[in-house]
Amino acid sequence: MSKPAVEPSTIESAPRSFIGRLADNDLVASFLSSKITVAAGLITLILLLAAVFAPLIAPTNPFNPATNFLIDSLTPPRFAAGGDPRFLLGTDDQGRDMWSAILYGLRVSLLIGIFSVLFGGAIGITLGLIAGYTGGWIDAIIMRIADVQLTFPAILIALLLDGVAQALLKNSNREGTAFGVLVVSIGLSFWVQYARTVRGSTMVEKNRDYVQAARLVGLSPARILVRHILPNVMGPVLVIATINLALAIITEATLSFLGVGLPPTQPSLGTLIRIGQNFLFSGEWWIVTFPSLTLAILVLAVNLLGDWLRDALNPRLK
Amino acid sequence: DAGAKTLRFAFQGELKSVDPYQINESFSLSVNESVYEGLVRRGPDMKIQPCLAESWELLDPLHWRFHLRKGVKFHEGQDFTADDVVFSAARVRGAGSDLKGRIPADADVVKVDDYTVDVILKAPNPLLINEWESWGIFSKKWSEEHGAMDATAMNATTPPYAALHANGTGPFILVSHEPGVKTVWKTNPNWWDKPRHNLDEVVFTPIANNATRVAALLSGEIDWMDPVPLNDQARVNANPDTQVLAGPEIRTIFLGMDQFRDELGHSNVKGKNPFKDVRVRKAFYQAIDEDAINQKVMRGQAAPSALMIAPSIYAEAKDFKRIPFDPQASKKLLADAGYPDGFEVQMDCPNDRYVNDEQICQAVVGMLARVGVKVNLNAEPKSKFFAAITAAGGYDSSFYLLGWTPTTLESFNVFQYIIGCRDQKTNWGGNNVGDYCNPKVDALAKSALQEMDEKKRDDIYKQAWQISLFDDVGYIPLHQQALAWGVSRKTHVIQRPDNYYIFAWVTMD
Amino acid sequence: MTNPLLSVRDLRVEFATRRGPLVALDGVSLDIAAGEILGIVGESGAGKSLTGLAIIGLLDPPGHIAGGEIRLDGRRIDNLPAAEMRKLRGRRIGMIFQDPLTSLNPLLRIGDHLVETILAHSALTPKQARERAIALLSEVGIPAPEKRIDGYPHEFSGGMRQRVVIALALCGEPALVIADEPTTALDVSVQAQIIAVLKKLTRVHGAAVMLITHDMGVIAETADRVAVMYAGRIVEIGKVSEVVRAPLHPYARGLMAAIPTLEGRVARLAQIPGAMPRLSAIPRGCAFSPRCPEAFDRCRVERPPLLTVGDRSAACWLYDRGHAPAMTTEIVS
Amino acid sequence: MSAALQLVSVRGLKRVFDVSRPWISRFIDREPRRLLRAVDGVDFTIERGQTFGIVGESGSGKSTLARMVVGLLRPSAGQVLIEGVDMAATSDPAARREVRRRMQMIFQDPYASLNPRWRIGDVIAEPLVAFGLGAAQASGSEKTLDKAGIVARVDDLLRLVGLDPSDKRRYPHEFSGGQRQRIAIARAIAANPDFIVCDEPTSALDVSIQAQILNLMRDLQETLGLTYLLITHNLAVLRHMATRVGVMYLGRLVEIAPTEELFAHPRHPYTRMLLDAVPDLAMSGRARTPVGGETPNPIDPPPGCPFHPRCPRAIDRCRIEAPILRDNVACHLPLSDSK
Amino acid sequence: MIAFIIRRLLASLGVLIAVGLIAFVMFRYVGDPVNQMVGIETPAAEREALRQQLGLNEPVIVQASRFLLNAARFDFGISYQFRQPVSVMIGARLPATLELAIVASILSLLAGVPLGVYSALRRDSALAKLFQALSLVGISLPTFLTGILLIYLFSVTLGWLPSFGRGAVVPIGSWWTTGLLTMSGLKSLIMPAITLALFQMTLIMRLVRAEMLEVLRADYIRFARARGLSERAVHFHHALKNTLVPVMTVVGLQLGSIVAFSIITETVFAWPGMGQLFLQSIQNVDIPIMAAYLLFIAFLFVIINLVVDLLYVIVDPRLRAAVHGASG
Ligand SMILES: Nc1ncnc2c1ncn2[C@@H]1O[C@H](COP(=O)(O)OP(=O)(O)OP(=O)(O)O)[C@@H](O)[C@H]1O
Ligand SMILES: Nc1ncnc2c1ncn2[C@@H]1O[C@H](COP(=O)(O)OP(=O)(O)OP(=O)(O)O)[C@@H](O)[C@H]1O
Ligand SMILES: [Mg+2]
Ligand SMILES: [Mg+2]
């Protein structure tokens, strides 16, 4: 063994603490540098926690019909005239505590958002990786399928799929199928975006020398895709995912308006708004205002995070 | 011209066709009545009045004679004669018609002379003309000229003329019909009757979205609309220019239970059907606080009902009281029936058909939950709901909410379609989704049809109601739903409990 | 050099970062006379491009000039308002960038680029501008310019495009052209053609050229004088022939020795150990001291200024008369 | 040149890229298929322990050739034999793997050749894991895949290329270009290959770093007995590194000669032109003779000798007949003949 | 160029056929049309007969291929609900929807592009940040709620704008009607168009901003500056042009989703367009209308795609070369 040609690298090698590295991280720093982003992050976090711990925070379980008394219905919020101390944000037409309903609804909306993004992402990323890596006719077929998919926006898919699902799953109840239908139809409307992005990045990455090096040691394409390429195409995917999360939550609300949302017994924020909009003229403003506000804040915060992520992950915008 | 009075009318659904035979749906029937008149019509008090028939007599229980009005002309100028009635009687029972039931298939409609028509029945039917106001008379000549002999056959390859054009004898003449967009009528200056209205033109627009429809009324863009959502009634009344005309409708909302299957299709109870046990049905009944539903969900606008027919069309309804709301009794009944911890069942419910249908179901779910029954609510649009629960869908429901308007305005219709034991061939009990079946009730109902005396008929019905709804608890009636029209204060309309929109009675300031 | 066209004194360029300012150029001083080609060499990241950008006033934020001054014809230009500076660009100072593939707007015709630029700098009519554009194209050696002028950038090869870029830089007849690695992306054979065009430029138009490159060979062949940069500083500046033959600064010496030549095979190339420090970790004292075989204590604490050695300058304490070890001074003589 | 000494032998290697437009477009515009002959019949051999250099302008097919030699790209025709074994023709997977293990590649761009998401320890260990080479070769027990063995070997390799073993936990972006190239070299030699293809290993590096890498490559060649195929467009680098040189032009080798000979007496006019075009650092006053024109479009190369449009010596025959490589030069009028 | 178009059309045809098939298979499960065609009292036997007449009992593939064959002749059958030829119905609703969608697109472009350009050019200014944040508010509420709130404000409270319908329309030619030529038509268009445009505007604005920021960093922009071009020329001649090329595709694709989203807008504003028709047809299981609508959307999408691609070719000389096959 020959003497090293040069002395060992001059990079400082003392390992630093986790916090130290965190503070040094560009992503974290850019996050902390914008007040709006920090606020959006905090709000998202709070809403996430509220959703996760809804059963602990909420005074009642709005999904349990036995605890909603019709007698209590249409009570104004605690702080408004005629309010009842039991109901912080008032009750809806079923006597459901709005505060609890919002907490649980948030949970449902977020779940729908997350699952549909995961669903769309999983399909899109897989197909995108395959199309980008293999190319040729497989690529052509996948991209044509994507074209077909694009002609079916989420609204159309949901309207159609809702019928299909209920016909196929005749014996399961709607409360069960609605969630699946929403996740699938919203997710389906997303996958093309992931597929196109991932395909593009994959076509770039696959010609990178590190992939060639991996091929040289005889790794299988699947392994190369998963271990080497996938981590490197996740950046833009993450950005799309964030923005789609917000979009999915809004889409669910919209679908609820068209009657293919979640059942009113297990309302999401969208369902609450759909129900609440019937009270726009009637003076029971709290039924629509609070869920809408929560939804708007959630969507806004998530979108702002997406914005930040987009800028932060784009090296050219630094 | 400036003084022209235009009535701007909006409804939540669209007018599918201007051919009244095409669909047996009360909105389309009622609106088309302004163009096509029947031999009879109903007044504001729901009483049957002469219309194109000046009078009629019952020669014997099987033989009806109608004397037609003379000097009546169709909108396009044709004279109205017995030929048109015979033609229309054939058309209404012909291909593509959805009103086939208006005249028994085996009845003969015979021209006696130009202004006399006989109807010869195979079986007596005192209720023959109860639904005849919706069976408007077509001009034979016009129909032949335009190939509108049939209400359109479904598989037609050319568009039916009569679905877009109309030629009746009524107070209004169709000007244009853009399906699902807008329909315009103008006054018939040559109408045989003296108009009560002072309109020149009627414009109908469908506005499906509740909030938009209310907004359009509030902002004065429309004069009359239906329905006003219960929530918005206070707002409409608070507006100085608009008001709500509310009243009980004759449609009864009720709950049905599957008493047919040996095991429920949508329940966790296996191997048996709890609804076959009258105690369970009664327990459900007593678990439901209809007063609360009326107060909260219906905002006090509905009429809680002990029967499945409205008091306005059944005189003896006042003798019946609902089985009292009593959760304790309910729990006990369930325990007695072997379900001390309740059970789980799916409830099917439309969410765009009846007034606050989904909310009623939700309330029911909550109330049943409190006696231990876990109800999974399956609320869906009417297209899917009806697809599942009708005969075509295999009556696929274990527990459901439904509404029924007896179009004959008479109890028999309810027994025939809803309470009677299901019979494929005769379509008896055709809408008895849960197949509640008691032959005694059927026998009573059928015997009523033989009874020409109204009072005696009502007594027979009384027995039948007692057995079906109180002894057997075959159904759980809830209420007659509220009727709520929104009108501008300058528009004066007459509201009938069957929710018919009669343009000919409207006056505007 | 009594009356330099361009004179840069103690130029300092910083990047504002969240960890404080990053000094990318520190005390850069140089002069260029009319008709002269000044070469700037140095490793990647040494600050060559920044020097050029600072002079033409196109530093991208957060980069900015933090000190020193730049004079063109004796007039200070580093603190001009944006509008004034824009008037100088193209007309007094032109710049050519490294990558001919990306320097042209792919959606516009070659002619559009040229005419637009000519019109921005003169009172010609569009028709005259077009004629001038054709003349410029033929001047930089594009065959059949009247045909090619309506072509799009992608229809040109790399070498051709670089010529177009040069023509564009010449539209306003600038007195100073900053050429940032104009030949790096090109093949050797084409490189020679481009160099010839640049040389002609100084001869015919009397323009001064600041030629930025990392290829010593190109400098040796083209430039009159050369500045060697290291870590944001000029370490040596002087006549090309002298710097190439007998570099003063240990870095320059190492650099020259590390270049393999055609002249014959050596057993091993001389190599400078280590790598240029990152801007955030430039050592105190001489930036080269950690890699310098001849560094002594002072080098590690005190930063050497550019010291005049004959008609050259070098930023190295070896040439500070008072402190230099006697032995190394001999190299100079 | 005895066959026993030949480690690598390349025979009639060709690679054609189909760069046609979609069939329907071609059909309508009545246009033939467009083929790009990136490598068009290349033959050479490399002896064990030697460095074979290939030089040529951009687009002449150097990288394509390199990728075919290591098996990243399937040749359209021809063979690559490693000690007589053709990897493409071997059906036995174990044998294929063995051939694959014996050759590795170093890439041009040090920034793209390392997966940015991987720690460099993992990067270097990957071939070891893939080829099942756990233990350091010193222990003698090959094919045992144990973690400690891999770690030890990675440390050795890092030291061998002049890095510190503690660097293995870092990510590529924390290294400079030269250091990355060292890491890439460490990965390339991890599986004890005999033969390394280097595609412009230093052209992205500064001269001072280039010297380090070239020296390292030389050192490794001496200690490990490596054989190199070195691709570059820098004649000086070639002069410094190669034992024999092939000159490529538009997909063909136009001249092959031992290094000294090539530089002293170039025989092909193109070689001559390349040599003339190198800037004269020694400032010997040698005038650069800019050659007119640029490399022709490889999709429709000129008929006859592809170099003839730029060749000062071209005769009519050159315009019609493509010369074949005879006597190690592909020219109708080689320079030495005329001299 | 012709070859390019033909190739695209062939691919499009495939897309159309696929959409037709998928749509048709799905309809099987949307509900039973017969239920909606007759009243609830109609007996089962009659329903069965009707089903037979409509061919609903045949295998899906038979129904689907019959549908596609007819569709190729622009014959989409007769609406189950309205008894009108579907092509006529869609034709009658088409102007309303297209007018709404196009006005909304123009609106979103008119607002989105300048806002995007501004917030890219003045990336760090307070106003740009405000635009960024405000634009998000537009997409933070579901469309239907925005629409109803607008109605509440402008129709009910202020009484400025009509709450529903299309106002007075005038016919142009034999089959087009427009509301753009009457005062009431224009007034009716304002709120639905804004509601529909809001989402797109946000999207376009953010896209333009992102693209522009990228383009502003391109070498040719820097070189344009170095040549002494004015900021205006640099921003609007060079940067904007290059920015709009990718924006074009997205805007094109979005037109498809504008039409889809018009389902909600049309429902809220009782706008007599295709979206409303489609929603009604779903509620009524009016299969011929549903199928024709989906095919129409696919067709629209395909056409837009083609136009966008052609525009690309026209705008971007590099693609032009690829399409023409010119080399060198
Ligand atoms: N926006 C920036 N932020 C921080 N540092 C920067 C920025 N732009 C350039 N630098 C740093 O400034 C230094 C000088 O860069 P410059 O581009 O002048 O180098 P160069 O000598 O031209 O190198 P090359 O030969 O690679 O072009 C580099 O270390 C670079 O990292
Ligand atoms: N996958 C491919 N498809 C089509 N053409 C290709 C492909 N790969 C390479 N080519 C073409 O083949 C020719 C040779 O390319 P190659 O990369 O081998 O050249 P090179 O000599 O390595 O050039 P450089 O010095 O620029 O790296 C070029 O014209 C290139 O455009
Ligand atoms: Mg540079
Ligand atoms: Mg290459």
Residue D279 lies in a domain: yes
Distance CA B133, CA A201 (A): 70
According to the model, what pLDDT value does residue A23 have? 55
According to the model, what pLDDT value does residue A22 have? 54
What is the phi/psi pair of residue D204, to 5°? -95, 5
Minimum Cα–Cα distance from B239: chain E residue:
E156
Q: Tell me if D263 sits within 8 A of D248, measured CB to CB.
A: no
- Put simply, whether B392 touches E (Cβ < 8 Å) is yes
Domain CATH for D57: 3.40.50.300
Distance CA A158, CA A255 (A): 7
- For residue A318, which atom of ligand 1 is closest to its CA? 1
- Residue A2: pLDDT above 50? no
Ranges A167-171, C183-187, E168-172: which has the least confidence: A167-171
Amino acid at position B507, single letter: T
According to the model, what pLDDT value does residue C264 have? 67
pLDDT category, D338, cuts 50, 70, 90?
very low
**Domain count for chain D:** 1
Please list every residue in chain C whose beta carbon sits closer than 8 Å to the beta carbon of residue D273: 189
In this predicted model, what pLDDT tens digit does every residue of B128-154 receive, in sequence order? Answer: 888 888 889 999 999 888 888 877 655
Residue D264 lies in a domain: yes
- Residue B266: pLDDT above 80? yes
- For residue D65, which atom of ligand 2 is closest to its CA? 18
- For residue C52, which atom of ligand 1 is closest to its CA? 18
Domains and CATH numbers, chain E: 2-72 (no CATH), 89-283 (1.10.3720.10)
Residues 221-240 of D with CB under 8 A from E: none
Give the rounded percent of residues in chain E with a pLDDT score beyond 70. Answer: 92
Does the beta-carbon distance from A29 to C290 stay under 8 Å? no
Residues 194-223 of A with CB under 8 A from D: 208-210, 212-219
The B-side interface with A (CB below 8 A) comprises 210-211, 214-215, 218, 229, 231-232, 234-235, 265-266, 289, 292-293, 296-297, 346, 351-352, 358-359, 362-363, 365-370, 375-381, 384, 396
Ranges B292-296, D150-154, E297-301: which has the least confidence: E297-301
Does the beta-carbon distance from C274 to A33 stay under 8 Å? no
Q: Is B71 exposed, middle or buried (0-12, 13-18, 19+ CB in 10 A)?
A: exposed
Amino acid at position A131, single letter: A
Residue E201 burial (CB count, 10 A): 25
In this predicted model, what pLDDT tens digit does every residue of E69-107 receive, in sequence order? Answer: 888 887 887 787 777 888 888 888 889 998 999 899 899
- Which ligand lies nearest to the CA atom of residue C215 in the structure? 1
Q: Tell me if A117 sits within 8 A of A190, measured CB to CB.
A: yes
Helix axis angle, E240-268 to E183-216, nearest 10°? 140
Residue D135 lies in a domain: no
Residues 4-33 of E with CB under 8 A from D: 4, 6-7, 10
Residue D152 lies in a domain: no
Q: How far is E227 from chain B (nearest CA, A)?
A: 59
Select the residue from E32, E130, E136 to test the A interface by mutation, using most A Cβ atoms within 10 A.
E136
According to the model, what pLDDT value does residue A17 have? 53
- Residue E271: pLDDT above 60? yes
Output b/e per residue, E72-88; b: 16+ Cβ within 10 A.
Answer: eeebbbbbbbbbbbbbb
Instruction: Name the region of D328 (left: φ>0; alpha: ψ -120 to 50; beta: rest).
Output: left
In this predicted model, what pLDDT tens digit does every residue of C110-161 receive, in sequence order? Answer: 999 999 999 988 888 999 999 999 998 988 888 888 888 998 888 888 888 8
What is the phi/psi pair of residue E207, to 5°? -65, -45
Output b/e per residue, E154-181; b: 16+ Cβ within 10 A.
Answer: bbbeeeebbbbbbbebeeeeeeebbbee
Distance CA C329, CA B148 (A): 118
- Put simply, whether E308 touches B (Cβ < 8 Å) is no
- CB-nearest to D131 from A8, A210, A217 is A217
Please list every residue in chain E whose beta carbon sits closer than 8 Å to the beta carbon of residue B23: 37-39
Ligand 1 site, CB within 6 A: C 15, 22, 24, 42, 44-50, 63, 214, 279
Give the rounded percent of residues in chain C with a pLDDT score beyond 90. Answer: 26
Chain B: partners with 3+ C-beta pairs within 8 Å: A, E
- Put simply, whether B163 touches E (Cβ < 8 Å) is yes
In this predicted model, what pLDDT tens digit does every residue of A196-219 receive, in sequence order? Answer: 889 988 998 888 889 999 998 888
**Per-residue pLDDT averaged across C214-225, rounded?**
87
Pairing mode, if any, of strands C233-239 and C312-314? Answer: antiparallel
Please list every residue in chain C whose beta carbon sits closer than 8 Å to the beta carbon of residue A10: 274-275, 277, 290
Amino acid at position B413, single letter: N
Pairing mode, if any, of strands D6-18 and C233-239? Answer: unpaired
The CA-atom distances, in angstroms, between C157 and each of C152, C162, D295, E242, E328 are: 11, 9, 9, 22, 8
Amino acid at position C309, single letter: V
Supply C71's token pair: 């004079």
Q: How far is C87 from chain E (nearest CA, A)?
A: 6
Size of interface A-D (CB pairs under 8 A): 88
- Put simply, whether D95 touches A (Cβ < 8 Å) is no
Residue D256 lies in a domain: yes
Q: Tell me if C25 sits within 8 A of C198, measured CB to CB.
A: no
* Higher per-residue pLDDT: E165 or B424: E165
- Put simply, whether E82 touches D (Cβ < 8 Å) is no
According to the model, what pLDDT value does residue D286 have? 59
According to the model, what pLDDT value does residue E322 have? 60
Ranges A3-7, A217-221, E281-285: which has the least confidence: A3-7
- Going by C-alpha positions, the residue among B338, B360, B352 that lies closest to residue B478 is B360
End-to-end, the C-alpha distance of chain A in Å comes to: 44
Please state whether at least 3 CB pairs lie below 8 Å between chains D and C.
Answer: yes
Q: How far is C274 from chain A (nearest CA, A)?
A: 7
- Residue D334: pLDDT above 60? yes
- Put simply, whether D22 touches E (Cβ < 8 Å) is yes
Chain D: partners with 3+ C-beta pairs within 8 Å: A, C, E
Residue D107 lies in a domain: yes
Instruction: Give how far the C-alpha of residue A62 lies from the chain's centroid of Cα atoms, to the nearest Å.
Output: 23
Q: Tell me if B326 sits within 8 A of B309, measured CB to CB.
A: no
- Residue B355: pLDDT above 80? yes
**Per-residue pLDDT averaged across A56-64, rounded?**
82
In this predicted model, what pLDDT tens digit does every residue of E153-164 receive, in sequence order? Answer: 998 889 899 988
| Count of H-run helices and E-run strands, chain A | 13, 0
Distance CA B311, CA B308 (A): 9
Distance CA D68, CA E259 (A): 51
Q: How many residues does chain C have?
A: 333
Does ipTM surpass 0.90 in this model? no
- Put simply, whether A7 touches C (Cβ < 8 Å) is yes
Minimum Cα–Cα distance from D286: chain C residue:
C221
Q: Is 1.10.287.130 the CATH number for A36-59+87-317?
A: no
**Per-residue pLDDT averaged across B441-456, rounded?**
87
In this predicted model, what pLDDT tens digit does every residue of B81-112 receive, in sequence order? Answer: 999 999 999 998 887 787 888 888 889 999 99
The CA-atom distances, in angstroms, between A138 and each of A35, A127, E15 are: 46, 10, 16
Residues 254-293 of E with CB under 8 A from B: 267-270, 272, 276-277, 280, 282-285
Ligand 2 centre and the CA of D17: distance in Å?
A: 9
Angle at E245 between CA E241 and CA E251, to 5 degrees: 120
Distance CA A7, CA B505 (A): 104
Ligand 1 centre and the CA of C96: distance in Å?
A: 17
Ligand 2 site, CB within 6 A: D 17, 19, 36, 38, 56, 58-64, 233, 298
**Per-residue pLDDT averaged across C188-207, rounded?**
83
Distance CA E115, CA E113 (A): 5
- CB-nearest to E241 from C107, C120, C171 is C107
Structural domain boundaries enclosing D266? 3-117+171-319
According to the model, what pLDDT value does residue C156 have? 86
- Put simply, whether D159 touches A (Cβ < 8 Å) is yes
- Going by C-alpha positions, the residue among B270, B265, B432 that lies closest to residue B346 is B265
- Which ligand lies nearest to the CA atom of residue D199 in the structure? 4
In this predicted model, what pLDDT tens digit does every residue of A224-242 receive, in sequence order? Answer: 999 999 988 888 888 888 8
The CA-atom distances, in angstroms, between A114 and each of A101, A265, A306, A310, B167 are: 19, 21, 14, 19, 58
Q: Whose CA is nearest to atom 12 of ligand 1?
A: C24
Does the beta-carbon distance from C18 to A7 stay under 8 Å? no
Please list every residue in chain E whose beta carbon sits closer than 8 Å to the beta carbon of residue C171: 227
Q: Is D58 exposed, middle or buried (0-12, 13-18, 19+ CB in 10 A)?
A: middle
Minimum Cα–Cα distance from A177: chain B residue:
B378
* DSSP code per residue over E237-254: IIIHHHHHHHHHHHHHHH
Supply A25's token pair: 């991280």
Q: How far is C190 from chain D (nearest CA, A)?
A: 7
Ligand 3 centre and the CA of C45: distance in Å?
A: 7
**Per-residue pLDDT averaged across A258-262, rounded?**
79
- Put simply, whether D21 touches E (Cβ < 8 Å) is yes
